[in-house]
Chains A and B, each alone.
Chain A
Amino acid sequence: MNATVLEVRDLRTHFGQAKAVDGVSFSVARGDVLGLVGESGSGKSVTGFSIIGLVDPPGTIVGGQIVFDGRDITRSSREEMRALRGRRMAMIFQDPMMTLNPVLRIDTQMIEAVQAHENVSRMDARARARDALGMVGIPSPDERLQAYPHQFSGGMRQRVVIAIALLHRPDFIIADEPTTALDVTIQAQILAEMQKLVAQNNTSLIWITHDLAVVSRLADRIAVMYAGRIVESGPVSDVLARPLHPYTAGLIDSVPSRNRRGERLRQIPGMAPSVARLPAGCAFAPRCARADAVCAQAVPLLTAGPREHRCVHPLPELRA
Chain B
Amino acid sequence: MIPSTPVAADVQSSSAGSSGMAPLIELNKISHSFGTRPDLAARLAISFKLAKPAARVQAIDGVSLAVRRGEVLGLVGESGCGKSTLGRIVAGILSPTRGSVSWRGKDMKALPPSERREAKLRVQMIFQNPYASLNPRRKAADIVGEAPRVHGLVDGDLGTFVDQQFRRAGLDPALKHRFPHQFSGGQRQRIGIARALAVQPEFLVCDEAVAALDVSIQAQILNLFMDLRERLNLTYLFISHDLGVVEHISDRVAIMYLGRIVEEAPAEEIFARANHPYTQALLAEVPRIETTKRGFAAIKGELPSPLSPPSGCHFHPRCPHAMPRCRTEAPRLKAVAAGHKSACHLNDAAA
Contact = CB atoms under 8 A, between A and B. Distances in A.
A116 interface: no
A214 B295 CA distance: 10
Q: Which of A144, A191, A257 has the most CB of B within 10 A?
A: A257
Contacts of A216: 287-291, 293
Contacts of A192: 295-298
Interface string A187-213: 111011101000000000000001111
B228 interface: no
B30 to A, nearest CB: 17
A181 B241 contact: yes
B281 interface: yes
**Residue from A44, A185, A219, A266 with most neighbouring chain B CB atoms (10 Å):** A185
A213 B289 contact: yes
Contacts of B298: 188-189, 192-193
Contact of A181 (B128, B131, B181, B190): B128
Nearest to A261: B248
Interface of B: 34, 36, 42, 54-55, 57, 76-80, 83-84, 128-129, 131-132, 167, 170, 172, 174-175, 181-187, 190, 208, 211-220, 222-223, 226, 241-245, 247-249, 267-268, 281-282, 285-299, 302-305, 307-308
A153 B290 contact: no
Interface in A188-246: 188-189, 191-193, 195, 210-214, 216-220, 236-237, 240-241
Given A213-B289, A237-B291, A274 B175 contact: yes
The 3 closest A-B pairs by CB, nearest first: A40-B186, A155-B79, A139-B305
A24 to B, nearest CB: 15
Contacts of B132: 97
Given A188-B285, A265-B219, A265-B223, A210 B79 contact: no
Interface residues of A, number: 77
B225 to A, nearest CB: 10
Contact of B247 (A56, A184, A240, A261): A261
A154 B129 contact: yes
A133 B10 CA distance: 39
Interface of A: 15, 37-41, 44-45, 56, 94-97, 137-140, 143-144, 146-147, 151-156, 159, 176-177, 180-189, 191-193, 195, 210-214, 216-220, 236-237, 240-241, 250-252, 254-257, 259, 261-262, 264-268, 271-272, 274, 276
A307 B48 CA distance: 66
A39 B216 contact: yes
A94 B244 CA distance: 22
B129 A261 contact: no
A264 B285 CA distance: 26
A94 B303 CA distance: 25
A294 to B, nearest CB: 24
B222 A265 contact: yes
B288 A254 contact: no
Given A192-B295, A213-B290, A40 B304 contact: no
Contacts of B172: 271-272, 274
B42 A241 contact: no
Contacts of A214: 287
B214 A39 contact: yes
B279 to A, nearest CB: 11
A191 B303 CA distance: 17
